[in-house]
Structure 1
């Protein structure tokens, strides 16, 4: 007996642990949404290149586009143009689109669109570190000014990160004569980035210009300049004016380097306008759209991989264990008597079509009339099989009559009575009549009432939308239910109704 108890405990522990582990993996690692109404941000990025084509000259327009190896998932990428050839190439770690045409006249507009999301994104591919730095050669007073700035920066820094932060702070101090000399007549962000680059090159520290875009719903957005350097382990990002370290979460790298955003041949007056819009999408539908990640592959081999009509069936079927658990608790812990375990669950499934109120009324009416017929047939001393056949035929006729009568009265909800399982109703009538004969009408009424209560509670729980979605999406949670059922299978204690019934004995003692 001890070995059986140990075996049961180990089995329960394995089932519960396995169910929780699989569900937790889906939620925390695959990021499958826990609720059906959970949504995620979808960003639509539109870049519009406009220019005037020079008549009689071939047109070649090149523009940097965002890399696809960032912490985002691309849902759709499109290039919209009229009579232009389109090609995408890699250049110095950047992606670049090239539009080309043999002939073009007048105003031209080329579009680039990228739709992306943060969720279900693959791991970002770290760019390789840059080659060793060669100092930028200066002449005369500019070299003296650079040395005058580099020496104190080196004294006030301990590593690459602090060196860059100190260099940015000093370059933005425009009261320093050395800084003003190196800046010249310019005072823009690019001018400051150029001076910072000079200082870091003298210290042989690598530096790259990074153009970023904000993921905010704003029209005509200008790419913002950031700086990045490699410390031998990872990339460090800095704002060239504020010195802020670490690129914000709402920014996406567009391209790196000092090259302009676009290059135009055969055209003039070119300009690019960037517009970003935000929308929301159901997180689960979003997971199904991202076909290039592990989440979508897992969903493909889950219940979501079934055809839609089959999914509708399994959405109902997979909730049956929840109904069975309700019946188990009501019978084994509370002590409510029902007609078996599965009869109330099957009745609760019929309530999905008739709703609870109409379902209880129709069930009561059909059962009461069926019991009356069963009582009459008992006087004829028929065998069980003919008796059940007659009751079943009567139930069919009764269902048809109720449907016809309710249709004439305009009560369309009562037409759903035809969806009741006729065999279950027949067996229910038979078992209630036998119960009536063996244990009396009071006990039979109590069992029928317990069956209706259990079916109603099971129906209410099985039709909770959030619970139905959770069980369908994470079916491994049913293993936890099996573990609980196994534990209840060894319960030998008093039921709640028995405690109430024997309460008087405890008072007398």
Structure 2
């Protein structure tokens, strides 16, 4: 639940909402008048949240065209007169991630034939000039279809000069004059692709940016590698359009059109787009809520390192419990390996090892000397701590003299840990012998190394800071380990001779 809430907060901050408006005016001059509006299409980064069309005098019907997938709003009337249709759409743009929609793949034979066919007035694929340019592409690119497609795109995008605004949009005019309008570039690319047996079509849509006079933009989609790949010879986008572009009509270059027999005249279209304000969740995000107590990332950044350090300790204890109760490796206590590991995670491990060596040597020597005085435990530990502190202070001073000043984390944690462990080492030596004490030290170092290897991953610290309730799972694992009553892995190895004898 918290993860979903965090994702929702992040997407609410990143998403933007836009209102796209169509204003269409037309004059009905016959018994049946139709005007068809191409509606914006959702994509992996754009979702259509609201749609509204207002004109009670007109009948409305929404259709989806096959095979392009274009959605059309068909408005019709049987009455003569002037009419106006206003359609509004609220679009949500998600710049990162996406809504999970995938492009359609696969073309049937009829669909392929449709998008490779010649349309003499728009896509004259059999024209001699078109074929000559296609032969030039094949000579330069060889037999690679991907290289041919890239050559066609670069030619339509870079080799043609911009045409004047009043120039015609025909393919033959672009080939003749070596200039092209934006629509002419798109038409030429579709023509060359179809001539090279690439299924291709025009796509018309909008760029989501705030403007009162919005002009539709046309680009190209080519079916290659099992998907429809977008190419924009005007802005130079290849194989992927920016997330801010929303398609409206596939296989066409007009947002609003009318059938020839529909008897509509004097069609005027106006498009506008306005960015909407953020949602209430974004506006009220900074409002104090009791649930924010569980969000540790809201605390000052300088506290994050300390919190990560504390939250990593249960993981270290879990690793130690696993090695002690399941594997069978003894250590000095439960927390000693974890504390050793954590003390070097957020410190300079090189200088930390030097400080640890100084502390350990000073502690052993000090304990050997103080042990002869036959003192009680508390004064004895205090003397050892004093000796260790003096050695550490002068050791830090010596490192600073050598320009190797250690951090505070590299000094304090080993200081506290080793002081206690040295006392436990001597007590264990007196009670169980030097061999067992060295075995405990080896186990502590080995398990501490494993803890350091796992806990030093930055992702672990970041994850536990964001979701500290993961330690509820840690507690469950502790319960599972605590109920384990089987053989330890080390015991299986120790008693292997008995197993062999029993089998014999």
Q: Is the 8 A contact 1:303 1:473 kept in 2?
A: yes
Residues 415-457 of structure 1, C-alpha deviations (whole Å, 9 max, x = no match): 8643335332211110011111111112111211222222232
Among 44, 57, 61, which residue is 1:133 paired with? 57
Aligned to 2:422: 429
Identify the match of residue 434 of structure 2 among 417, 441, 445.
Answer: 441
**Match for residue 334 of structure 2 among 335, 341, 346:** 341
Verify the 8 A CA contact 1:407 1:415 in the aligned structure 2: no
Matched, 1:242 2:252: yes
Which secondary structure state, in structure 2, belongs to the residue aligned with residue 420 of structure 1?
A: helix
How many angstroms does 1:243 deviate by?
9.9
* Cα shift at 1:390: 0.5
Map of 1:190-201 to 2, 5 A cutoff? 197-198=75-76
CA contact (8 A) 1:403 1:414 kept: no
Picking from 1, 4, 8, the partner of 1:30 is 8
* 2:359–2:415 CA contact under 8 A, matched in 1: no
Residues 213-266 of structure 1: CA deviation (Å, up to 9, x unaligned)? 3369xxx983359xxxxxxxxxxx962863999xxxxxxxxxxx966458xxxx
Aligned partner of residue 50 in structure 2, secondary structure: coil
How far is the alpha carbon of 1:394 from its aligned partner? 0.7
Would you say the 8 A contact 1:322–1:461 is kept in 2?
no
Distance in 2 (CA, whole Å) between partners of 1:328 and 1:458 is 11
Native 8 Å contact 1:290 1:296 kept in 2: no
Specify which of 350, 369, 372 is matched with residue 362 of structure 2: 369
For 2:395, the equivalent position in structure 1 comes to 402
Label 1:365 to 1:448 Cα distance change in 2 as closer, same or farther (>3 A).
farther
CA contact (8 A) 1:320 1:345 kept: yes
Contact 1:315 1:472 in 2 (8 A): yes
- In structure 2, runs of 5+ residues without a counterpart are 24-43, 90-204, 219-246, 256-266
1:2-401 aligned at under 5 Å gives the runs 22=1, 25-26=4-5, 30=8, 66-67=18-19, 126-127=50-51, 130-134=54-58, 160-162=61-63, 165=65, 197-198=75-76, 208=86, 213-214=206-207, 222-224=215-217, 239=249, 242=252, 260=270, 290-292=282-284, 302-356=295-349, 358-401=351-394
Question: Conserved in 2, the CA contact under 8 Å of 1:134 and 1:201?
Answer: no
Q: Secondary structure at the match of 1:30?
A: helix
CA distance in 2, matches of 1:464, 1:244: 55
Quote the Cα distance in structure 2 between the aligned partners of 1:426 and 1:391: 7
CA contact (8 A) 1:344 1:454 kept: yes
- The whole-number CA distance in structure 1 between the counterparts of 2:287 and 2:322 is 36
* Aligned counterpart, 1:487: 480
Report which structure shows greater RCO (CA 8 Å, sep ≥6). Answer: 1
Q: Give the superposition deviation at 1:463.
A: 2.2
Q: Which runs of 5+ in 1 are unaligned?
A: 1-21, 34-39, 44-64, 71-90, 94-117, 136-158, 170-192, 226-236, 246-256, 263-271, 275-286
Which position in structure 1 is the counterpart of 2:202? none
Distance apart, 1:475 and its partner CA: 2.2
> Could you give the per-residue CA deviations for residues 146-174 of structure 1, whole angstroms, max 9, x where no partner exists?
xxxxxxxxxxxxx9444x749x99xxxxx
Deviations 1:343-375 (A, max 9, x none): 222222221354445544543442233123212
1:166-223 Cα shifts (integer Å, max 9, x gaps)? 9x99xxxxxxxxxxxxxxxxxxxxxxx99x6557999xxx96556963369xxx9833
Is 2:340–2:448's contact at 8 Å kept on the other side of the alignment? yes
Which deviates further from its counterpart, 481-490 or 360-369? 360-369
Q: CA deviation at 1:30?
A: 3.2
CA RMSD of aligned residues (A): 4.9
Q: Call closer, same or farther: CA 1:41–1:328 in 2, change over 3 Å.
A: same
Q: What is the TM-score when the length of structure 1 is the normalising length?
A: 0.50
Quote the offset at 1:339 in angstroms: 1.4
Distance 1:384 1:498 in 2: 35
Secondary structure in 1 aligned to 2:393?
helix
- Partner SS for 1:239: strand
Q: Secondary structure at the match of 1:336?
A: coil
Query: Cα offset for 1:292?
Result: 5.0
| Residue 498 of structure 1, CA deviation | 1.6
Report if aligned partners of 2:341, 2:448 keep a CA contact under 8 Å in 1: yes
Residues 1:165 and 1:415: Cα distance change in structure 2 (over 3 Å)? closer
Q: 1:412 matched to which residue of 2?
A: 405
1:439/1:384 Cα in 2 relative to 1: closer, same or farther (>3 Å)? same
Contact 1:471 1:477 in 2 (8 A): yes
- Cα deviation for residue 295 of structure 1 reads 12
Distance 2:208 2:472 in 1: 42
Q: Which residue of 1 aligns with 2:453?
A: 460
Select between 407-416 and 383-392 the one with higher mean Cα deviation: 407-416
8 Å CA contact 1:324–1:345 kept in 2: the answer is yes
Cα 1:450–1:363 shift into 2, 3 Å: farther
Give me the TM-score of the superposition, normalised by structure 2: 0.51
Aligned to 2:122: none
* SS of structure 2 residue aligned to 1:507: helix
The CA distance in 1 between the partners of 2:468 and 2:407, in whole Å, is: 34
